Structure 1
Amino acid sequence: MFSSKKDSNGIKMAKLATLVAHNVHISGDLEFSEGLRMDGQVTGNVSGRPGEETLLVVSDQGAIRGNVSAYNVVINGCVTGDVTVTHFVELQSNARVLGNIYYQQLRMDIGATIEGKLTRIDSQSAHVPTLPAPPEYTIDLTTN
């Protein structure tokens, strides 16, 4: 899954400097640099430090109830919230995402489930696109 070379079609090897163990539950937002392996649970937003090539790995034991944003993301657990990935997202076979995924590159294994929309983001600006407002309709329910 990880290689020492920079691969434009995959994940660049990163140092997983932080581990949230399986018996840990964090309530509140979490910002990390370099790499984070999530075996525990977070109730809050999880984000990689902006401008850095961060890596978030959510193991099959890990769960996040909040929005996620990072440069690279590997999910094999559960995320309830939107996921924004500026480079590469990998959804492994036990991944369950209840939210929208905004990505530049995507790999999805058989068995992964998503209850939300997949939206590819522009690689040059790496921002979530602004969706147009739905058209407005006026319905007249009066009878003559």
Structure 2
Amino acid sequence: MFNNKQDKIQMAQDITSSSNTIGKGTTINGDLETFGNIRIDGKVIGNIKTKSKLVLGNTSHIEGNVLSQNAEIEGEVKGVVEITELLILKPSAVVHGDIITNKLIVESGATFNGECKMGVSNKTIKIGEETANGQSNPKIEKAKAV
């Protein structure tokens, strides 16, 4: 399928440079996983996982856990937010749940209710991969609303 290492590298770059958008007025029930960037302006009831950047617009409403490399939050999240690099909470952001991140920027007006842990070691985000024993990775459990 792949002729050489360069083909594999090109395919990986294509996957991670993809962008996904969930528009205002859209509701999704279920978990989302992507290698590329994702912007959400609608409602997601389920967990979100991306190896790239997550942007939650000011009309977004998330009921579930978030795992991402980088994130900007303007909307509301009810669940654990785990970011491996940089998390930015915009003035309209509301987070009901714990935050785990390496770096955090909280702009004036943003609110969150929960614990915050910073300086976490680099965690590997696995998308659709299996563990060594052939079992799929356990899903992030859905957080209860606070």
SS in 2 for 1:104: strand
Aligned residues: 109
Give the conservation status (yes or no) of the 8 Å contact 1:67–1:80: yes
Give the conservation status (yes or no) of the 8 Å contact 2:40–2:60: yes
Amino acid paired to 2:19: A
List runs of 5+ in structure 1 lacking aligned partners.
1-13, 128-144
**TM-score (ref. length: structure 2):** 0.70
Corresponding residue for residue 126 of structure 1: 123
**TM-score (ref. length: structure 1):** 0.71
RMSD of the alignment, in Å?
Answer: 1.6
Aligned pair partner of 2:44 in 29, 42, 45: 42
2: CA distance, partners of 1:22 / 1:39: 5
- CA deviation profile, 1:80-137 (whole Å, cap 9, x unmatched): 00000000000000000000000000000000000101101433x438xxxxxxxxxx
Corresponding residue for residue 23 of structure 1: 25
> Percent identity, aligned pairs only?
32
Corresponding residue for residue 83 of structure 1: 81
Corresponding residue for residue 72 of structure 2: 74
Question: Map of 1:110-125 to 2, 5 A cutoff?
Answer: 110-123=108-121, 125=122
2: CA distance, partners of 1:117 / 1:16: 32
Q: Which runs of 4+ in 1 moved over 6 A?
A: none
Question: 1:67 deviation in Å?
Answer: 0.2
Give the conservation status (yes or no) of the 8 Å contact 1:26–1:41: yes
2: CA distance, partners of 1:93 / 1:23: 22
Structure that is richer in helix per residue = 2
Give the conservation status (yes or no) of the 8 Å contact 2:91–2:109: yes
2: CA distance, partners of 1:122 / 1:28: 27
SS in 2 for 1:87: strand
